[in-house]
Structure 1
Amino acid sequence: MSLISLIVPFLMILITMIVLFDSAKNGITPTPTTSKEKTAALKISETFKPDSIADLGAGFGTMAFPLAKQFPNSRVVAYETAALPWIFLLIRSRIQPRPNLTVRRRNFMKEDLSKHDLLYTYLYPKAMDQLQEKINHTPVILISNFFQMPGWKPSLIWPVESRTRYSSSIYLYRRNG
């Protein structure tokens, strides 16, 4: 038996275990934003002039990199706790450097989000509940993919053709605190 035939299955099992562990810890598997969702979110965000943007649960950087490109004079922080997407983000930031993009392996729920002018999320309902509690009294512009912020009235709902049978929308929230 060759060394490769031992290493490949071991790596596959290791990667699967890491994804399962992170998914259990975070409550969701990494789910990339589709190109149509990305286009809609970027179109919505272009009317703002943020100094600082946070991608909350940045995953593989599907939004963080385009936001950093669209807003070259803004600071963009990509928060991610899952190991594999975070490693991918680091590698991608070396291959496609964006001087205004910072990748952080931190739980954004423990960060001061009030320092960001614009927040982008693609979270699941429980995380949206937690985020709502965290930023409920903070002035914020929030763009949320697919999931609504509980108890908040969106300023804009942008329907997006979905990859599944479920309808998808991008929600814009503008709150004064």
Structure 2
Amino acid sequence: MTILTILLIFFMCFITLLILFDSAKNGITPTPTTSKEKAAALKLTESLHPSFIADLGAGFGTMAFPLAKQFPEAKVVAYETAVIPWIFLLIRNFLQPRANLSIRRKNFLKEDLSSYDLFYTYLYPKAMEQLQAKITHQRTTMISNCFAMPDWKPSLIWPVESKVNYSSIYLYRRN
């Protein structure tokens, strides 16, 4: 084996360990929004006029970048705590800059979310419970991929064909 091969193997093992560590810490692996889910979510936002958007658990930016493009006058903040997706977000923002997009490596549950008027989420059920507790009295619109808010009634449920079965996009309007 050459030194380059050994370094490549070490690098790949390091990346895998980072993903495993972040997945254990966050309770979920990075799972990108599919193109059909993205299209449905963006379609739901067409009639909205948000000024401050948060992508909570932005992953690789599958929604943050299209939301920033669709709403150039709005400020979009992508929150991601996992190292590999966060680095990918930074690289992608360098290669495809969006003036209205900022990327934060912060736990959104520890942030003040009161100024956002649109949330996009693709979180797992426990994180949805925590988010619900945090923003339960907030006036906002939220689009959630796959997972519903435990105690909120959605304004709309849009079934979307997924890779294996069907998932749903949930729209919540809290006034």
Structure 1 residue 141 corresponds to structure 2 residue 133: no
Q: Name 1:157's counterpart in structure 2.
A: 157
Q: Name 1:31's counterpart in structure 2.
A: 31
The Cα RMSD (Å) is 0.7
User: Could you tell me the TM-score, scaled by structure 2's length?
Assistant: 0.98
Mapped to 1, the partners of 2:12 and 2:90 lie a distance apart of 21
Amino acid at match of 1:23: S
Q: Name 2:170's counterpart in structure 1.
A: 171
* Number of residue-to-residue matches in the alignment: 175
Mapped to 1, the partners of 2:42 and 2:25 lie a distance apart of 29
Aligned positions of 1:78-157 closer than 5 A: 78-157=78-157
Measured against aligned partners, the alpha-carbon deviations of 1:127-171 in whole angstroms (never above 9, x if no partner) come to 001001101111110000000000110001111011113x20100
Amino acid at match of 1:12: M
Amino acid at match of 2:156: L
Mapped to 2, the partners of 1:99 and 1:115 lie a distance apart of 19
User: Could you tell me the TM-score, scaled by structure 1's length?
Assistant: 0.97
Mapped to 2, the partners of 1:2 and 1:159 lie a distance apart of 51
What is the Cα deviation at residue 2 of structure 1?
1.9
What is the Cα deviation at residue 5 of structure 1?
1.8
Consecutive unaligned residues of structure 1, counting only runs of 5 or more, are none
Mapped to 1, the partners of 2:39 and 2:31 lie a distance apart of 16
Q: Name 1:11's counterpart in structure 2.
A: 11
Amino acid at match of 1:175: R
What is the Cα deviation at residue 51 of structure 1?
0.6
Mapped to 1, the partners of 2:3 and 2:162 lie a distance apart of 44
Q: Secondary structure at the match of 1:114?
A: coil
Q: Secondary structure at the match of 1:42?
A: helix
Q: Name 1:68's counterpart in structure 2.
A: 68
Paired-residue identity, %: 70
What is the Cα deviation at residue 6 of structure 1?
1.2
Consecutive unaligned residues of structure 2, counting only runs of 5 or more, are none
Mapped to 1, the partners of 2:112 and 2:126 lie a distance apart of 20
Mapped to 2, the partners of 1:175 and 1:123 lie a distance apart of 19
